[in-house]
Amino acid sequence: METTGSANVSVPCWVMFFRSRAPVLIPVRMSCLLSFKLSVFSTVLLLLCTRFVCCNNGRRVGDALDAEFSGFSVPLEHSFEVDDVAKFRVRGALVLKAGREPSVSLSQNQLSEEDRTKLKEVAAVDGLYRIRVPRVFLQADRQTERQMEGYLTAFVRACAMVESHLSDVIALHTDVSGYLIGVSIVTFPGACRGTEVEDEVDLEVFNTTLSIMAPVNAPGPETALFLERMEQELERKGKNPQEQKSFFAKYWYLILGGAIFLMATSSAQPPAGGDREQS
């Protein structure tokens, strides 16, 4: 593996980041000191029975059915382990539907009793809840072309998953040609405050909001609109008679005043003997 073109680019990434400046004794300018905070969370284990739920993307309610026959299904897998070594198991099935506006729906199982216990244990040690989906090419015609090697992975903190009562927002991102390039998961609310989840029912059913996003088209310079506006402005100026007045029409009183003033001054002081000098 190699780092990119800008050879040694590296950006350290930090989870917690205070915007305030740490106090510096010596009056010298230095880069901001970052402070860190780690929250420790404790959770309580709860048990629940299982149920089946189906969840669609929320944007297009009717799509779930269409997708059944024209779309194709890929597994959505998750992993949460106390020792943080990823062991992915199936969480549900994503049904992807290609087309002009790709859509996605998800059918997923409930968390088993064992899983719930484990999730809480993982949350207690501030472990991660990871998900992954296989790389797929949405626009391919045949099933064999769709699947590609490798997975796209994402994570949230397990405690956030527990505290949000399994309400997560999963977004799948495609590129311009329909390749799945990334997956992201956030929970809502996203914070780990250490609140205890008492009710077992809360950790049973995933409350997933799902979406698939293609890149938006970045706007180019808006020349047409600008020109239109310019033309309108010109027209407005043309219609307005006040702007069209000529120089004399606008300032006739000034010119008249100036002329009268000149005449008055010249009549008061008649030129002293032009004739005499001529002779």
Q: Three-state SS for 177?
A: coil
DSSP state of 261: H
Tell me the closest approach of the beta carbon of residue 227 to another protein, in angstroms: 9
Q: Three-state SS for 195?
A: coil
Of the candidate residues 158, 169, 197, 212, the single one contacting another protein (CB under 8 A):
169
Q: Read off the tokens for 48.
A: 């629940």
Residue list 134-163, contact with another protein (CB under 8 A): 135, 137, 148, 150-157, 160
Distance CA 175, CA 177 (A): 6
72 pairs with which residues across the strands? 96
Residue number, 63 or 168, with CB nearest to another protein: 168
Of the candidate residues 62, 144, 198, 221, the single one contacting another protein (CB under 8 A):
221
Calculate the alpha carbon distances from 9 to 16, 30, 182 in Å.
22, 21, 22
Q: Which amino acid, 253? A: Y
128 binds another protein (CB under 8 A): yes
Tell me the closest approach of the beta carbon of residue 231 to another protein, in angstroms: 14
36 binds another protein (CB under 8 A): yes
273 pairs with which residues across the strands? none
Of the candidate residues 12, 62, 270, 273, the single one contacting another protein (CB under 8 A):
12
DSSP state of 85: -
Of the candidate residues 61, 216, 249, 264, the single one contacting another protein (CB under 8 A):
216
192 binds another protein (CB under 8 A): yes
18 binds another protein (CB under 8 A): yes
